[in-house]
Structure 1
Amino acid sequence: MPVTRTGSTHADVARGSENASMGSSRSGFATLLRAWRDRLSPADAGFAVTPDRRAPGLRREELAQLAGLSVDYVLRLEQGRATNPSAQVVGALARSLQLSRAERDQLYRSAGLLPPRDGTVSTHVPAGIQRLAGRLGDVPIGVFTADWTLVWWNAAWAALLGDPAVLPPSERNLARALFGSGVAHAAMTTVRSERGQDAFKASIVADLKDAVSRYPRDVQLDRLVGELRGASDAFAHHWAARTAAVQHTTDRKTIRHPEVGDILLDCDVLIVPGADLRMVTYTAATGSSDAAKLDLLRVTGVRRPVAANWPTTP
């Protein structure tokens, strides 16, 4: 490798230049965060707009709620006192602010991070999808990536299934909840599939197989599959099956809620073309007792206690 006259390699010089650039970019992170928070309409983010509202965009606590962060941490980011946010934090902020892909990449770079590479599972939720989901506030909605990681949800979803914000971002994954033994599994609400639990689990594994075939360079996806194959005999069995399982689309599920009891709901999985996302919705027939229970949850905003106390899957 060529060496400069000072004894440093060209790569060292390049790294030093890149680090200086990243350091200067980092100073703009707080400015971007504040500007994009002020730009986003509260209504588009699913919040009610009242006449006495003074903030032109999202309030700081609203952004914190959407991103699953503490208000204090968002404040420190905006004041430049927290200067090394993780990629997961930046990704959550980019989704909450409904940034375009170019803006998302700019936010990553301003934090001194490389933007997500092409060829890996995308966590980007287009602004239009967020607006659509936000305006269907009466329907519990969760948006999942190709590897079944939950990246967006509304208040109705949290009231029905528990608030995902109490979980670390890496644990907001349906496959980990079904087959793992960590906090994701401990936090999962009891849900019975009309198709049967084994068929439901097989469909999630089939989806992961499909994701691996389309994203062979995704390190995190490879790590997830390796982890579950080693930790769960059931996952390993489904993974090794030679017959193709039906991928998860539509089902009827009974959710055992600790406050309102069993709720029988239609579960529909809507594919978002061009974004490789799944929008999962839960609905009940108008006038049914199950619809009344959903209405009660929407009004009361019932929340579970800490994740470790939630009921687990059978």
Structure 2
Amino acid sequence: MVSSRSAFAALLRAWRDRLSPADAGFAVTDRRRAPGLRREELAQLAGLSVDYILRLEQGRAKNPSAQVVGALARALQLSRAERDQLYRGAGLLPPQDGTVSAHVPAGIQRLAARLGDVPIGVFTADWTLVWWNTTWSALHGDPAVLPPAERNLARALFGNGAAHASMLPMQSEHGQDAFEASIVADLKDAVSRYPGDARLDRLVRELRGASDAFARLWATRTAATQHTTDRKTIRHPEVGDILLDCDVLIVPGADLRMVTYTAATGSSDAGKLDLLRVTGGRTPAEPS
């Protein structure tokens, strides 16, 4: 067990030192004394505490969960082979083929990090949010405060837990019914492609029991359009209503959706988005 922890710790340190801060979306300044990510930056990207990262790197933390290892693998921009090596180093089986993948390729993360002015969230085939930037957090609220299982759009729409409670009021140009139907259509498609995914099965069973609307949409035989592009009005507590173009970009070969929000240059909505970017979605403190 000790040697396994040491191997995991060594991998974590080596891959943290390898990753360029710029590729992870952080500014590179002359004050950096060493290449690679700082522990606090890795902690921020993975949604973990700095103390926990330190204990993992020192081999003092026991039995990291699959969710923790997956978050670290995404934050470190590991390849699939490296991700599997990290899972094995933690004494866990790597994610199996035939299940919904939460792996975000390094190139997608680098691309998204370079588009920091645009709110970007990366979702899996079952609409679980696995990567986001700070502008996304400013617009929607920080997903890191939610348990990983609650970072799911279907749970936000149809569930009765933390995801639903944290979702800001939002209106779709196509109408709320069409928006909800498109998310259910996406889940139906995911189930058809990943029939052996136990977590996806639990999600569907949970939502069928929690929401009459979900159960009705799941039972219908009428084909619904999958969620792609939309215009949405988001009611933000600091800037009020903000109308944005929402585009859903499919990542070929990875079965991921990259969701972006933009506004026309010079519009009042673009100004509101700029304000959120600067303030992080919080009202600036009054001068004393």
Give the TM-score of the pair, scaled to structure 2: 0.97
* Matched residue, 2:137: 158
Q: Please list, as runs of the form range in 1=range in 2, the aligned pairs for 1:49-198 lying within 5 A after superposition.
A: 49-198=28-177
Q: Is the 8 A contact 1:121 1:218 kept in 2?
A: yes
1:34-63 deviation line (CA, Å, top 9, x unaligned): 110010000000000011111310010000
Structure 1 residue 300: deviation in Å?
1.2
Give the 5 Å matches for 1:276-295. 276-295=255-274
User: Match for residue 270 of structure 1?
Assistant: 249
Distance 2:19 2:59 in 1: 21
Matches within 5 A, 1:201-216: 201-216=180-195
For 1:299, which of 273, 278, 288 is the aligned residue? 278
**SS of aligned partner of 1:30:** helix
Q: How far apart are 1:190 and its partner, in Å?
A: 1.1
- Greater C-alpha Rg: 1
Shift in Å, 1:176:
0.5
Quote the residue 2:286 is aligned against: none
How many angstroms apart in 2 are the aligned matches of 1:27 and 1:56? 22
Q: Decide whether the 8 Å contact of 1:144 with 1:279 is kept in 2.
A: yes
Residues 158-211 of structure 1, C-alpha deviations (whole Å, 9 max, x = no match): 000000000010110000010000011001111111111111000000000000
Q: CA deviation at 1:24?
A: 3.6
CA distance in 2, matches of 1:97, 1:163: 20
Contact 1:163 1:303 in 2 (8 A): no
The equivalent residue for 1:199 is 178
Q: CA deviation at 1:239?
A: 0.3
CA drift at 1:23: 6.1
Amino acid at match of 1:175: A
Give 1:114's aligned amino acid: L
Aligned with residue 44 of structure 1, among 10, 15, 23: 23
Q: For 2:149 and 2:5, how far apart are their aligned partners in 1?
A: 25
| Alignment partners' CA distance in 1, 2:15 and 2:192 | 36
Deviations 1:268-296 (A, max 9, x none): 00000000000000000000000001111
Whether the aligned pair in 1 keeps the contact of 2:276 and 2:282 (CA below 8 Å) is: no
Pair 1:31 & 2:14 matched: no
Matching residue of 2:216: 237
**1:98 and 1:126 in contact (8 A); partners too:** yes
SS in 1 for 2:241: strand
Q: Which runs of 5+ in 1 are unaligned?
A: 1-21, 305-314
Contact 1:26/1:109 (8 A) holds in 2:
no
Contact 1:158 1:164 in 2 (8 A): yes
Choose the corresponding residue for 2:229, options 247, 250, 256. 250
User: Aligned-pair RMSD on alpha carbons?
Assistant: 1.0
Q: Following the alignment from structure 2 to structure 1, what is the Cα–Cα distance between the partners of residues 32 and 177? A: 49
Residues matched between the structures, number: 283
**Does the 8 Å CA contact 2:2/2:59 hold for their aligned counterparts?**
no
How far residue 26 of structure 1 moved from its aligned partner, in angstroms, is 3.2
Amino acid in structure 2 at the alignment position of 1:170: A
Contact 2:158-2:207 within 8 A present in 1 as well: yes
Q: Conserved in 2, the CA contact under 8 Å of 1:46 and 1:135?
A: yes
**TM-score, length basis structure 1:** 0.89
Residue by residue, what CA displacement relative to the aligned partner does 1:213-262 show, whole Å, maximum 9, x if unpaired? 00000000000000101111000000011100000000000011100111
Q: Which amino acid aligns with 1:32?
A: L
Change in 2 beyond 3 A, CA 1:23/1:230? farther
Q: d(CA) in 2 for partners of 1:31 and 1:189?
A: 41
* 8 Å contact from structure 1 (residues 162, 303) kept in 2: no
CA distance in 2 between counterparts of 1:243 and 1:84 reads: 46
